[in-house]
Amino acid sequence: MRTQGILSLLLLGLAASVAGQQAPASPIPRTLDGKPDLSGVWDHPYVPDMSKSTQNGVMSQQGPGALPFTPQAAAEFKNYDPHLDGDYTGSCLPFGFLRSFNAPYPIQILQTPQYIAFLFEQNTWFHTVAMNRKHPEHLEPSWFGDSIGRWDDDTLVIDTIGFNGQTRLDTIGHQHSDAMHVVQRIQRIDAQRLRMEITVEDPKVYSEPWKNTRVFALMKPGAELMEYSCEENNRDYSQGHIKRPSQK
């Protein structure tokens, strides 16, 4: 009887040990050329304030109160009021590169060896990343900039420049200039998640580069982007909640 009792305790201990072990992470899906497959329709955190980062669903402050503004940019941001100054999105102008990633709507990623494409449900915009090439010598400034990509082992690195400086980074209005340089590092964590780290460098607005991170979650099979039209029912603008952006 005593032997049976000892055996029972050993079996219980083994079961507890097995139960306590974490299940292995699901394998990362890969494309035919062996790269992590980033394709799919992804849900992601709404980031209205890029001075905060999201890690595992938890929001954390980027720094003590604000991003590393230059003194002049800090004063400009402090005095910014979208209701008085006019938020350009009220006129259905493009959100711009980072504000599109920060919007609370799904993003679909399409992937080939030559291009990575981001399809934003927000206003049905899209942006393409050309793989393994250099930025053109003469860039025409644009709302979303010019993006090139490369693989660093299993991390997709996206380098974007060529902004027109007419957008803001997030809902609360952190600004940038035409000198902004954005680097994104995207990793497929497992079959259901990917992690994006964003580094912003803009010497006209910020005293040093700064980072923001968030985790995307793959939506259920069959998920599709919806058609989104700002122009059709833009009550914020038509009913005067926000004003037309001032012309500089």
% of the chain beyond a pLDDT of 90: 69
CA distance 39 to 194: 11
pLDDT digits (tens, 9 = 90+) for 13-36: 544 444 445 444 568 999 999 999
User: Above 80 in pLDDT, residue 39?
Assistant: yes
**pTM, two decimal places:** 0.81
Q: What average pLDDT does range 113-140 have in this prediction?
A: 96
DSSP helix/strand/coil, 242? coil
CA distance 9 to 48: 54
Q: What average pLDDT does range 165-172 have in this prediction?
A: 95
Which domains occur in the chain, in start order?
A: 30-238 (2.40.128.20)
% of the chain beyond a pLDDT of 70: 77
User: Above 80 in pLDDT, residue 154?
Assistant: yes
**Average pLDDT score, the chain:** 85
pLDDT at res. 153: 96
Residue owning tokens 């062996």: 34
Q: What average pLDDT does range 100-106 have in this prediction?
A: 96
- Specify the higher pLDDT residue, 241 or 194: 194
User: Above 90 in pLDDT, residue 3?
Assistant: no
pLDDT digits (tens, 9 = 90+) for 135-151: 999 999 999 999 999 99
pLDDT at res. 19: 45
CA distance 19 to 222: 33
pLDDT at res. 10: 45
pLDDT digits (tens, 9 = 90+) for 72-88: 999 999 999 888 777 88
Burial of 16 (0-12, 13-18, 19+ CB in 10 A): exposed
How many CB atoms within 10 Å of residue 3? 7
Hey, what amino acid is at 130? A
CA dihedral 158, 163, 167, 168 (to 10 degrees): 50
- Specify the higher pLDDT residue, 236 or 92: 92
User: Above 50 in pLDDT, residue 58?
Assistant: no
The H-or-E segment that residue 190 falls in is none
